[in-house]
Amino acid sequence: MKKIILAYSGGLDTSVAVRWLKEKGFNVICYMADVGQGQNFSIAIKRAKKTGASKVIVGDLKKEFVNDFVWPSLKANAVYESKYFLATALSRPVIAKALVNAAHAEKADFVAHGCTGKGNDQVRFEVSIAALDPKIKVIAPVREWDLPTRESEIRYAKVHNIAIDVTKKKPYSIDRNVWGVSIESGKLEDPWFEPTEDAYQITLPVEKSPAKGAYLEIYFKHGIPKKINGKAYDGFKLIEKLNSIGGKHSIGRSDLIEDRLVGIKSREIYEAPAAFILFEAHKALEGLTLDREMLYFKELVSLKYARLIYDGLWFTPLKQAIDRFVDYTQRNVQGTVKIKLLKGNAFVVGRKSPCSAYKKELATYSKGDKFDQSLAKGFIELFGLPYRKKL
């Protein structure tokens, strides 16, 4: 029997996929990735086996996800279309890598995923898998089967006795990991519809956030956050902690009409409290420690890097080359940023660094000024020379 590794979530699509693939003659091994979505795996494991999986593997990818995927995106300040910190997009390559490893370990020639033919995730999975092992054949049941609606899938599940949550129709499609939550479909498909509170998973509405702000001091080394208020955390815990504090202060919500790779505009809302706080803090520290031209060039690189992540081009030479550049820029991005969380905002209110490029003796308007103002006259003369009007 042909073996296939199915990226399994426990939801309707992938549950139906287990059965559908079995009917196509596959020995189905389900792979569940833990990227910090806070899921109860034991229920899903039982369900997968009951539906016909011969084996269920749970991979703990939390550490790898944070260290090798989230931190590089933070160091690069990668944001898509100004508002999306790429939580879902970043999780795809780490899961793809784990699927390929599982296929090798199980001697399977096939991998399957539950993505639709309209989204970005199918691209991210398939491009990543092909970059890692082009011999693996990918099957996308949702793209192939003749079950065009959710209702038809539920009917299929009932006929084949597949356990699913039919309690009530889920109002939204939600993808979650430690770096953020992506929420789409249902009523959100009307771009004019204001999201109701039931859509949000990890943030309070601003009306319910405390009137008194909270201060945080975040310490970075080589562009990576290491401590909060003087206490060291491992990466995953640090993000969890900022999500919980930030969520209470209603930080990191965004509402975006975004441009998918397949040419569709779609409406998605996001929650990413930790990402929002860390981006603000990281950029503030870069402002203190990097020079002007570096900051400028890094902004250009950020745009491209975000797009590479969004487009599923993680395992590519350009992405690797940019990583080398970004790592070089982060040598001196070390120090502490003081940030105030209040009513949906993360205000940077202070920063300090042993590698600071700020020179008080040049900036000051008070005693101790070492800036020679007499030099400014000649500088301006030459700087403006090309634009001088002919007399």
Q: What positions carry a catalytic annotation?
A: 13, 92, 121, 173
**Locus of tokens 């596959």:** 26
Touching ligand ARG, residues 240-259 (CB under 6 A): 258
* 333, 282 Cβ separation under 8 angstroms: yes
Instruction: List the structure tokens of 279.
Output: 């981006």
**Residue 48 makes contact with ligand ARG by CB under 6 A:** no
- Nearer CB in complex with ligand ARG: 249/253: 253
Q: Let me know if 34 is exposed, middle or buried by CB neighbors in 10 A (0-12, 13-18, 19+).
A: middle
**Residue 73 makes contact with ligand ARG by CB under 6 A:** no
Site string for ligand ARG, 95-134 (x = CB under 6 A): -------------------------x--------------
CB of 173 to ligand ARG, least distance (A): 4
CB of 335 to ligand ARG, least distance (A): 32
Under DSSP, the state recorded for 354 is T
CB of 20 to ligand ARG, least distance (A): 20
Residues binding ligand ARG: what is the number (CB under 6 A)? 11
Stretch that binds ligand ARG, among 1-9, 62-70, 170-178, 191-199 (CB under 6 A): 170-178
Site string for ligand ARG, 325-364 (x = CB under 6 A): ----------------------------------------
Give one DSSP letter per residue of 105-149, joined into a string: HHT-SEEE----TTSSHHHHHHHHHHHH-TTPEEE-HHHHSS--S
- Nearer CB in complex with ligand ARG: 283/307: 307
**Residue 175 makes contact with ligand ARG by CB under 6 A:** yes
Residue 259, φ and ψ in degrees, nearest 5: -100, 110
Give one DSSP letter per residue of 171-200, joined into a string: SSEEEEETTEEEEESGGGGSTTSPPPGGG-
Write the CA distances from 140 to 12, 77, 146, integer angstroms.
15, 32, 12
CB of 91 to ligand ARG, least distance (A): 9
* 117, 140 Cβ separation under 8 angstroms: yes
Q: Which of 13, 126, 153, 184 binds ligand ARG (CB under 6 A)?
A: 184
User: What count of residues does the chain have?
Assistant: 391
Site string for ligand ARG, 264-303 (x = CB under 6 A): ----x-----------------------------------
Q: What's the longest Cα–Cα distance across the chain?
A: 89
Q: Residues 311, 317, 318, CA angle at the centre, nearest 5°?
A: 60
CB of 176 to ligand ARG, least distance (A): 9
Q: How many Å separate Cα 163 from the centre of its chain?
A: 31
**Residue 77 makes contact with ligand ARG by CB under 6 A:** no
**Locus of tokens 């309209």:** 118
Q: Which of 57, 162, 183, 251 binds ligand ARG (CB under 6 A)?
A: 183
Stretch that binds ligand ARG, among 15-23, 127-135, 171-179, 289-297 (CB under 6 A): 171-179
CB of 365 to ligand ARG, least distance (A): 47
Q: Which of 89, 136, 277, 346 binds ligand ARG (CB under 6 A)?
A: 89
Sign of torsion over alpha carbons 365, 286, 176, 308: positive
What is the β-pairing status of strands 55-60 and 26-34? parallel
**How many alpha carbons lie under 13 Å from residue 14 in its C-beta half-sphere?**
24
CB of 118 to ligand ARG, least distance (A): 11
- Nearer CB in complex with ligand ARG: 173/356: 173
**Gap between the terminal Cα atoms of the chain:** 88
Q: Name the residues that contact ligand ARG, by CB under 6 A.
A: 88-89, 120, 173-175, 182-184, 258, 268
